[in-house]
Structure 1
């Protein structure tokens, strides 16, 4: 196959590209430039996509003897990932930018350009498996549960899965990948993994958002509607948050309070006890299927609502363009805007963005239902 290897400058994508070459494919390395200010997206192990990362990727490509290019996707990244991130927070939701990047950049923009240029597939260093099933290509969890990245790949469609290549899916540990990189003479063998949000390398999401959308004082209320504190912008809070709440009135029982809801229209943050975070149902209209499309009706599945969360057995319904999920046991602290990925065993069925949640603990009418 003719393969485009997406090379981030990290150890995983380097070894993935090397394995693609060893497998006999015609490989071209591509580094995606996602920021016009190339030196600003990495601080230690935070962030990515710097000039340093591009040079690390180029050195690997030189060792492998493959062509290497840097493609500028910064404008599309800004529109589809960064601007979307800001808009979601302004709407009181908590987005996952890694999902949007995979959906719109790595497996849409990159793959689209690759197919136009005559390539057959995009290769990445993600830890996930591809299995050819009776209904086409299937996406499955990786062999190493601790490194499994099938959750952030749940946005891939059947067409995209047909043109995707994950050489690391069967590797039992990250330590083996690093050892292989060292044997191959890659300077990235001991490079730390990047984490957190790549375009907020200092990790200060609240400060970054305040700079982008400004601050506006508002009220923090409890579930009865009583004012218990103030804030400088509801967009800086997310469901389940405990730290950073400026509460002037202690809870009657003296226990900590958590964010239960963000109401952007009134710039209000609702707080309450931890048990009020229990969520009995989630639903959403923005969905996709990873392979075979799910027919309308009820089906059993497992649901994962965060990248490193445990899957939860559940019943799901797909009716009239809406996916609804009721877990066997309530979720803990689900925020609208998060992504729910549905599994059948190790196989990814599909995903949806959570638009609505139903609390397992009744909410007083003075506050309103979580949504």
Structure 2
């Protein structure tokens, strides 16, 4: 891309030719990050592809559709070879275990419903990998996430993807302003995934028809309990299924097999009313069930807040925003009442069901696409 003026910005926002702009591309081996790398290479950027090995090759190869696995490392390398840029594989297995997997296991054992993909972005990809990119003298790091980075009056801002169905803002709320200054998301403006696959076909990428990854990368077939039992032997201690009125309705084979809001698979049929898991008492090993209305929550305590607004979180007594309390739910109107720079109580205007400790609560502008940050839901 030729620059008409000395101060003209290239497509990544730098006042120099693409050939003089080094960009590290985080390549998972999937179609999204492969397209980012191929597109930037075609535009003439000094592209360096980096793939993280996050867990054992043997286990990874046994699971289809996992990111950062053995087959995906091979696919990322093939893309780099065909597009003619260097590619490196970094062994982050120990970092990933310490920063993501162990906390996932401990949180799940404590009765929470963790979201390890957020921690992976926060503690591995946008922390250690980003520092590695700087060590490689990169001007920026690009990823295949569906989210937009826009430059506002106070600096870079995080905005939802143009395609609401692909938007990954829930998983990226903990991106700090300093990280956002260095990151780029070339796919966030695309109207649909079809355009991404069309670009993959245009560049002749071997991953053009590769299916999207599903579930958590280190959890085969979404079976959380089996992973926890492997990581924490003896974790599946049996206990009782107890109604909120105190009646013992049955037994279970471990609290780790249940999540807040679950209805199916409780093993307590023959009752006149449908029952849901409304609480997990890990210490007593009780799965507590009750009617659906008991799942409705309006007040949500939030901590470890990463605030991305222009003014300090504590500069107001309350903020009118929209929030997501689950990745699959649309934003709902809410009020944030700050308790400190990193803690707050969120009041939902309309009660939500199945609000669970360990999930994220992500803040959005009520009008517009900007992400204002978010935090982690915890027990009051």
Does the pair score TM above 0.5?
A: yes
Say if 1:156 and 1:289, in contact at 8 Å, map to a contact too. Answer: no
Say if 1:210 and 1:236, in contact at 8 Å, map to a contact too. Answer: no
For residue 281 of structure 1, the aligned residue among 299, 310, 316 is: 299
User: What is aligned with 2:10?
Assistant: none
Map Cα deviations across residues 225-244 of structure 1 (whole Å, 9 max, x no partner): 22111112112211111122
User: What is aligned with 1:269?
Assistant: 287
* Unpaired segments ≥5 residues, structure 1: 357-370
Map Cα deviations across residues 165-193 of structure 1 (whole Å, 9 max, x no partner): 10001111101111110121111000000
- How far did residue 291 of structure 1 move? 5.7
Q: Please tell me whether residue 346 in structure 1 is matched to residue 366 in structure 2.
A: no
Say if 1:89 and 1:236, in contact at 8 Å, map to a contact too. Answer: no
Instruction: Name which of structure 1's ranges 215-224 and 190-199 shifts more when overlaid on structure 2.
Output: 215-224
How many corresponding residue pairs?
Answer: 353
**Distance in structure 1 (CA, Å) of the matches to 2:59 and 2:160:** 33
User: What is aligned with 1:173?
Assistant: 192
TM-score normalised by structure 1 residue count: 0.91
For residue 27 of structure 1, the aligned residue among 33, 47, 57 is: 47
Say if 2:114 and 2:359, in contact at 8 Å, map to a contact too. Answer: yes
User: What is aligned with 1:11?
Assistant: 31
**Distance in structure 2 (CA, Å) of the matches to 1:217 and 1:44:** 29
Map Cα deviations across residues 185-228 of structure 1 (whole Å, 9 max, x no partner): 11100000001011012322122223333221111111112211
**Distance in structure 2 (CA, Å) of the matches to 1:349 and 1:341:** 8
Question: For 1:241-260, what aligned pairs fall within 5 Å after superposition?
Answer: 241-247=262-268, 250-251=270-271, 254-260=272-278
- How far did residue 293 of structure 1 move? 5.7
Say if 1:88 and 1:95, in contact at 8 Å, map to a contact too. Answer: yes
- How far did residue 348 of structure 1 move? 0.7
Q: Please tell me whether residue 113 in structure 1 is matched to residue 132 in structure 2.
A: yes
Structure 1 residues 56, 316: closer, same or farther in 2, change over 3 A? same
Question: For 1:210-229, what aligned pairs fall within 5 Å after superposition?
Answer: 210-213=229-232, 214=234, 215-229=236-250
- How far did residue 146 of structure 1 move? 0.6
**Distance in structure 2 (CA, Å) of the matches to 1:242 and 1:291:** 38
Say if 2:60 and 2:70, in contact at 8 Å, map to a contact too. Answer: no
Say if 1:158 and 1:289, in contact at 8 Å, map to a contact too. Answer: no
For residue 290 of structure 1, the aligned residue among 301, 308, 323 is: 308
* Unpaired segments ≥5 residues, structure 2: 1-20
- How far did residue 46 of structure 1 move? 3.4
Say if 2:61 and 2:70, in contact at 8 Å, map to a contact too. Answer: no
- How far did residue 292 of structure 1 move? 3.6
Runs of 4+ in 1 over 3 A off after TM superposition: 42-46, 290-294
Q: Please tell me whether residue 355 in structure 1 is matched to residue 378 in structure 2.
A: yes
**Distance in structure 2 (CA, Å) of the matches to 1:194 and 1:260:** 30
Q: Which has the higher contact order (CA 8 A, sep 6+)?
A: 1
Structure 1 residues 44, 113: closer, same or farther in 2, change over 3 A? closer
Map Cα deviations across residues 296-348 of structure 1 (whole Å, 9 max, x no partner): 12010000112221100111111234211111110111110100110013111
User: What is aligned with 2:103?
Assistant: 84
**Distance in structure 2 (CA, Å) of the matches to 1:187 and 1:14:** 9
Question: Residue 297 of structure 2: SS of its match in structure 1?
Answer: strand
Map Cα deviations across residues 15-64 of structure 1 (whole Å, 9 max, x no partner): 111222244432100111001x2132256653222221111111111122
Say if 2:241 and 2:248, in contact at 8 Å, map to a contact too. Answer: yes
TM-score normalised by structure 2 residue count: 0.89
